[in-house]
Structure formats: C-alpha cells, structure tokens
Amino acid sequence: MKEFWRVSIIGSGYVGLVAGACLAKLGNKVTLVDIDEEKIKTINNGVYPIYEEGLNEILSQVEIEASSDYQRIVGSDMIFLCVGTPPSEGGSVSLEDITEAAKQVADTLKRGNDYCVIAVKSTVPPGTTEEIVIPILERSRKKAGNDFGVCMAPEFLREGKAVYDFMNPMRLIIGELDKRSGDMLLDLYHDFNVPILRTNLRTAEMIKLASNAFLAMKLSFINEIGNICKQLGIDTHEVAKGMAFDERIGGKFLNAGIGFGGSCLPKDIRMLIAGAQETGYAPRLLEEVSKLNEKQALKPVELLKKHISLKGASIGLLGLAFKPGTDDVRESRAIMIVRALLEEGATIKAYDSLAVENFKRLFPQIEYVSKEDVLNCDAILIITEWEEFNNLDYRGKIIIDGRGVLKAKEARIYEGVCW
Ligand code: NAD
C-alpha cells in the first residue's frame, strides 16, 4: 500500500472537484486541471464554483493545486478524466471534451517516463475508452497496457450528497485494460470497505448507463402509475409506500411527481438509447421511459390551466434546482415549465435558495423574488422539494404541487400531479 498517490483530475466540475477534494482528504497529492480559467481562479481564491454539502469544509482542510496548464500533471501516478459529456443533437452525447482532454494528456505522456494510469470517470457510451480514448493516448507513441495503464471508473455520486457518496460508495466498479492499472486504482481506494467489481472497460461503461437507466425507469414507472392514480382519485404516495414493503421493490426512487432532471439521468438514458439504435436494436422500454419523463414535466401547467387563465396571470415558482441540495439546473423541470408558461403569456416570479444565479443565465427575463413574494402570485407551482417549502403558509392560495410537499395541502385549491 502506498502512503499517497499523485493524482491529477482533468475537469473540475461536480465530479472532478468533489473527487479531487475527497482524494486529497484521503491523503493523496491532488492537482486539478480545467480549461475554464475563471473556474481555476475562483478555486485558487478559495471560492468554489459549485455548491455541495461538506465540500467547502474539506477544501479548507486540504491543499490542492488548481491550474489550466496540463504540464502540471506530468509525473502523476493517476490521471482521472472527469470532463463533461453533454447531450448532443440526435440524443447521444458530445465526446468533444473527452477527446480534447485525452489529446492534452497524450502530450504530457510524451514527457513523463513512469507508468501512470489514465482513468475515465466521465459517463461515456460503451466502447469510448477503447475506441476513442486509448487510440488518442497512444499518439504519445507509448503503448496502453504496457507503458501506461487505462481504467474506466464510473462515478455514481448524487449531486447534493456528492461528498458523502464519494466517501461512502455503495460499490466500486473498476474497468481495467491491464491488471496493474486496476491494482493501482484499488490501492487508491483502499480505505473503502465495499463490494468491488473488476471488469473490462466497456462493461464498466455499461454498468454506469444501465444503473442510471434503471433508476430512470423506476421513476417513470411510478409516474405512470401516478398518472393512473390521479384519474382514479388515489394518492400515489400511499401506493408507493405500500409497494415499498416488498424488498424486491424497495422504496427508493418511487417518488411520483414531475419526473427526473439533472445532468445525468435524462442524458444517460438518451445515450443508451442512441447507442442501442446504432447497433440496429430498438430499445422500446427505454424510449418510453424517456418520453414519459418529458411529458411529465408539463403536467403542472396542464393542471394549472384547469383553474386559471394563464395569459397575463402571475405564476410563482417554488424551486428551480433539478433537485434539493444543489444549485444545478441542468435539465431541471423548471426549464420546460418556464418555457411553457412564457408561451402562454404568464408572468413568472421564481424562488430558489441556491439555484437562482444558474437559472438567471437561462432566463434573465423572469423575476427572482423571495419565497414570500412567490406566495403572492395568482397561482404557485412547486417544482423542487426543498425542505423549507414545508414551512410556508399556503392557506388561501392556488397550489399545483409537482413534488408532494405535505404542508401545501392546506391551500384553498390544491392539486398534486399524481395524487
Ligand atoms: P461539469 O460540466 O460540472 O464539469 C466538467 C468540467 O470539465 C468543466 O469545469 C469544464 O470546464 C471542464 N473541461 C471541459 N473540457 C476540458 C478539457 N479539455 N480539459 C480540462 N477540463 C475541461 O460536469 P460534471 O457534472 O462534473 O460531469 C462530468 C462527467 O461525470 C460527465 O460525463 C457526467 O455525466 C459524469 N457524472 C456526473 C455526475 C453528476 O452528478 N454531476 C455523476 C456521475 C457522473
């Protein structure tokens, strides 16, 4: 067991920054690299570009070097690729950032002589590490599996609980090209006493996608049941509670509502669908999971129209983040809802405790107000289940609840999307 490893992290977003902070906390020497100079500057100034519970505390306890200069990673034992794989036209993902990052790493490989492991942490279509990343790395004139190692180590953290999840993983999946690189990764993770599966690179890539597709399916499933329950006057939350006693089903990811957003589930399931279609297979179940999720986001607007005319009405939004505990608005349900409300001619006043700055970049034209001011609108939609929304006074209001906030049921007019 080595005392510490020299670890470089390429891409300092939600995954990279959290991984870097946690690996430093575990005693490793960490260098972060990002092409976003502004981000690097803020990190070096002790201001962190994302909100994650516990992250500031760790970062204030450890020393991490952050730079936009790839030369800083020469001499690393392990290099993690944590760049984004954002959605692209046609449903798959853009591999531009990971391609670019791999090229830069290849350049640095030319300079270092020691064996090091390059581990892909970004979520990528199966085959990417073998068919795209390794050939680029080998442009260094070094041989993968011999002069340097390659792993695919998917990340399973939940935003909002990312630090906890990194430090307390449920399992470790290590996709490895060569045994030596898998052994090194295992040593890096020696503090974690959890099930470990060592596999080949493309299986590791698929495990990540299949896991997220399964969670997405659970959510779309309960929303489908919820839409039926709504027609029949049944509270889906009670139904889910009853189902959850069955250990084969389990209670997690059975919260009916307006569906899943964020930077992972919607994108990852589309990535899996696109990949399947490229092979000539039509993954009908997954296609429906994704389609149902898109429709589900607009349920509150449909319900709202039953109660008021939207043209000229002031509509309040409680919550903009894609889920509580984060400032991330990527694929937040709020985005589709705001677009639909603007098209209908409504004026919008919105509140979120963390996500306003990120949402403002997408919708500078709407008003951002306190939660009390949101409650003064003609009608209110609850989009994110922030705990604080359970402490508001909803009496006399029109509330359309997308998330199941118990206190909101005291409203004059109350509608839940699936209950
Ligand atoms: P992010 O957008 O927050 O961060 C990506 C970072 O990479 C950005 O700071 C960007 O500037 C940087 N970058 C882009 N190109 C670069 C380059 N050539 N060199 C150096 N830096 C570069 O993304 P994220 O949410 O951290 O996700 C990263 C990957 O991990 C994605 O593939 C995502 O699907 C996956 N993932 C995300 C989560 C999550 O909860 N966010 C969880 C598991 C897996």
DSSP 133: I
Nearest to 109 by CA among 79, 67, 64, 154: 79
Q: How many Å lie between the centroid of ligand 1 and the Cα of residue 242?
A: 38
Task: Determine the pLDDT at residue 350.
Answer: 98
415 lines ligand 1 (CB under 6 A): no
Contact residues for 198 (Cβ-Cβ < 8 A; gap 6+): 174, 175, 176, 182, 186
Encode 391-412: b = buried (16+ Cβ within 10 Å), e = exposed: ebebeebbbbbbbbbeebeebe
Q: How many Å lie between the centroid of ligand 1 and the Cα of residue 328?
A: 13
Nearest to 226 by CA among 255, 185, 184: 255
Task: Determine the pLDDT at residue 263.
Answer: 94
318 lines ligand 1 (CB under 6 A): no
Nearest to 149 by CA among 204, 109, 101: 109
| Atom of ligand 1 minimally distant from the CA of 98 | 18
Question: Is 229 annotated as catalytic?
Answer: no
Q: How many Å lie between the centroid of ligand 1 and the Cα of residue 85?
A: 7
97 lines ligand 1 (CB under 6 A): yes
Answer positive or negative: Cα dihedral of 185, 186, 187, 189.
positive
Encode 70-82: b = buried (16+ Cβ within 10 Å), e = exposed: bebbbebbbbbbb
Token pair in block for residue 34: 């990002």
Task: Determine the pLDDT at residue 200.
Answer: 98
100 lines ligand 1 (CB under 6 A): yes
> Which residue puts its alpha carbon closest to atom 32 of ligand 1?
122
Query: Which class for 125: exposed (0-12), middle (13-18), buried (19 or more C-beta within 10 A)?
Result: buried
Encode 251-275: b = buried (16+ Cβ within 10 Å), e = exposed: eebbbbbbbbbbbbbbbbbbbbbbb
Q: How many Å lie between the centroid of ligand 1 and the Cα of residue 122?
A: 7
30 lines ligand 1 (CB under 6 A): no
Task: Determine the pLDDT at residue 49.
Answer: 82
33 lines ligand 1 (CB under 6 A): yes
pLDDT in tens, 274-321: 999 999 999 999 999 999 999 999 999 999 999 999 999 999 999 999
Contact 78, 188 (CB under 8 A): yes
What are the chain's domains? 6-199 (3.40.50.720), 209-297 (1.10.1040.10), 299-416 (3.40.50.720)
- Rounded to whole angstroms, the Cα distance separating 156 from 261 reads 16
- Rounded to whole angstroms, the Cα distance separating 356 from 319 reads 9
Q: How many Å lie between the centroid of ligand 1 and the Cα of residue 346?
A: 35
Task: Determine the pLDDT at residue 1.
Answer: 82
| Residues in the chain where the model's pLDDT stays below 70 | none
